[in-house]
Structure 1
Amino acid sequence: MTDAYLTRLHEFTIILYAISVLLYFFDFMHNNQKANRAAFWLLSFVWLLQTAFLLIYMVDTKRFPVLTIMEGLYFYTWVLVSFSLLINKLLKIDFIVFFTNVLGFIIMAIHTFAPIREGTEIATQVISELLLIHITAALLAYGGFSLSFIFSLLYCVQFNLLKKKIWGKRLRRIPDLTKLENIAYLFNVFSVPLLLIALILGIQWASVQAPGFVWYDPKILGSFLVLFIYGCCLYARVTHKLVGKGIAYFNIACFLILLINFFLAGNFSTFHYK
């Protein structure tokens, strides 16, 4: 597989992805079901192309493609697209697909147009089942937290529309507040244990194979901080100490801290590959 072929595949996929997001935006603004259906089928085709690329890449490299930051971003985008299609199919919540894929498109663009970084030799040297499980679990957890963030964001939008008594088709297409809050909570319930598993396995792998590993590494401390605040979010929700708009704002703040840890703390890590 040549680099030129991979580049063309990425560019074609991101063009289709952009058209899909634009159609979803048009549907969001004008309640156009034809645009919604066209956007859904385009997004499904994007998912097929992404899946095909991942499979071809795995055959070509003989490993699961999550060992470098660029590979991780691509897999993260695939997780977001997969989740959004499932949600659209099972729950029929159109706006979730739109907001999720705005985020997914941004990550996909970063992956596609970022400068190529050297890392193949390093990635080959650190292959192990433990590392693959660690990275995959962490990315799946990040995908779940991303969806939880988007549901909380929609909660705030719906809350403000109701408070201002702005009625209309857009309001009716957003689920009720209770449903939005419950789904955001369920995604956190799914993601918190996944992140805990990822951290445990990552520390175990690093203590054996990473010569620069120290327990007070910024990325490790930041990840445990993320786990702690999401744990607090779950505790506040379960004990009803924080509900409604309060828990939605808390959840949004948790996700922003997650993003800071993912993009900033890794730059100061002594053993995470950039």
Structure 2
Amino acid sequence: MVTKGWLVDAILYLYALSLLFYFSDVAHANRKVKRVGTGLLSFVWVLQTVYLGLNVYSHRASWVFSGSETLFLFSWLLVTISLFMVRVFRIELLVFFINVFGFGVLALNFFSNPRVSPTLHNWNVNDELLFVHVSLAICSYAAFAVSAVLSGMYLFLHRKLKAKDWSPTMKRLPSLEKMDRYAYISVIIGAPLLLLALALGVVWIAIDGNRQLFLDPKVVNSLFVLAAYVFYLYQRRSLRIEGRKLAAWNLAAFVIVVINFIVTDLVSEFHDWIWMG
């Protein structure tokens, strides 16, 4: 079995990046974004094929595969099928969800395999898994924070314009249209990051073996956060709701993020290690 190194990290991070582009295309159809996502996914397939080939070569005396290697082969097949579907059926939403599942399978394969060593030798595999999980979650929170600030500015400017209360501050703000669009883009970035962070959290719980952690307040509230922003995107894309109502919902969703980040950490068993010095 090939030891874990930059090849494995490249596969995971490029896979996650391709999913961000695919989600962006699903939320707001864009051929250029879709091509970038497909290109990254194709490169992931190439790296996976190389990794698989090296493992097959190491098993040249025996064709018996371990459970971990079987999971990797399964993930490789999911990427292969999704690339075929992109070419033939062009069902981007289905391709996205297939690859979210495939990403989770791949992460479970890498981080549960005792023969796969972390890139940093003073870490264990769980350290690296949690590092990636927390990094994705924090990046999603940052994107949601930017979106919330823009929505707050939108509501401020909207109220000022409606009341015809002109001030020098208003001239320094972007237009309502720009703030609404940028807030939407920030959510498009944050939502898939949080989804991937949750997928890795599920992998960590599966490796740890403590199924009760699925009912941990942090895990449950994170699902509410994701649901709130998915509903935001649904209102924007399907219900065609824009402007003040959508900005107000965005701020309400960010309140759930704040609760998730601060309050649930005080009672969470899953994330109590975050506060350890």
Superposition TM-score, scaled by structure 1 size: 0.52
Q: How does 1:87-166 map to 2 (within 5 A)?
A: 127-166=126-165
In the alignment, the residues of structure 1 paired with residue 148 and residue 125 of structure 2 have an alpha-carbon distance, to the nearest angstrom, of: 32
Please give the secondary structure, in 2, of the residue aligned with 1:242: coil
Q: How does 1:18-33 map to 2 (within 5 A)?
A: none
Amino acid at match of 2:146: L
Q: Deviations over 1:158-216 (max 9, x none)?
A: 00110111223211111111100000000000000000000000110122137575211
Superposition TM-score, scaled by structure 2 size: 0.51
In the alignment, the residues of structure 2 paired with residue 271 and residue 148 of structure 1 have an alpha-carbon distance, to the nearest angstrom, of: 27
Residue in 1 that maps onto 2:219: 220
Q: Aligned-pair distance for 1:242?
A: 2.4
Q: Deviations over 1:37-61 (max 9, x none)?
A: xxxxxxxxxxxxxxxxxxxxxxxxx
In the alignment, the residues of structure 1 paired with residue 264 and residue 124 of structure 2 have an alpha-carbon distance, to the nearest angstrom, of: 24
Amino acid at match of 1:188: V
In the alignment, the residues of structure 2 paired with residue 230 and residue 202 of structure 1 have an alpha-carbon distance, to the nearest angstrom, of: 19
In the alignment, the residues of structure 2 paired with residue 240 and residue 206 of structure 1 have an alpha-carbon distance, to the nearest angstrom, of: 36
Q: Aligned-pair distance for 1:140?
A: 0.2
In the alignment, the residues of structure 2 paired with residue 220 and residue 271 of structure 1 have an alpha-carbon distance, to the nearest angstrom, of: 8
Residue in 2 that maps onto 1:65: none
Q: Aligned-pair distance for 1:145?
A: 0.2
- Superposition RMSD on alpha carbons, in Å? 2.0
Q: Aligned-pair distance for 1:241?
A: 4.2
C-alpha contact 2:143 2:186 (8 A) present in aligned 1: yes
Residue in 2 that maps onto 1:13: none
Q: Aligned-pair distance for 1:272?
A: 1.5
Residue in 1 that maps onto 2:106: none
Q: Deviations over 1:84-141 (max 9, x none)?
A: xxxxxxxxxxxxxxxxxxxxxxxxxxxxxxxxxxxxxxx9778532221111000000
Residue in 2 that maps onto 1:271: 270
Return 5+ residue gaps in structure 2 as ranges.
Answer: 1-121
Please give the secondary structure, in 1, of the residue aligned with 2:193: helix
Residue in 2 that maps onto 1:245: 244
In the alignment, the residues of structure 2 paired with residue 259 and residue 210 of structure 1 have an alpha-carbon distance, to the nearest angstrom, of: 29
Q: What is the aligned length?
A: 152
Amino acid at match of 1:185: Y
Q: Aligned-pair distance for 1:270?
A: 2.3
Amino acid at match of 1:152: S
In the alignment, the residues of structure 2 paired with residue 185 and residue 258 of structure 1 have an alpha-carbon distance, to the nearest angstrom, of: 16
Please give the secondary structure, in 1, of the residue aligned with 2:215: coil
Amino acid at match of 1:234: L
CA change 1:240–1:271 in 2 (3 A) is closer
CA change 1:250–1:238 in 2 (3 A) is same
Asked if 1:199 corresponds to 2:198, the answer is yes
Q: Aligned-pair distance for 1:258?
A: 1.0
Residue in 2 that maps onto 1:66: none
C-alpha contact 1:148 1:188 (8 A) present in aligned 2: yes
C-alpha contact 1:207 1:213 (8 A) present in aligned 2: no
CA change 1:126–1:262 in 2 (3 A) is farther
Asked if 1:173 corresponds to 2:172, the answer is yes
In the alignment, the residues of structure 1 paired with residue 245 and residue 149 of structure 2 have an alpha-carbon distance, to the nearest angstrom, of: 15
Q: Percent identity?
A: 34
Q: Aligned-pair distance for 1:230?
A: 0.6
Return 5+ residue gaps in structure 1 as ranges.
Answer: 1-122
In the alignment, the residues of structure 2 paired with residue 269 and residue 168 of structure 1 have an alpha-carbon distance, to the nearest angstrom, of: 46
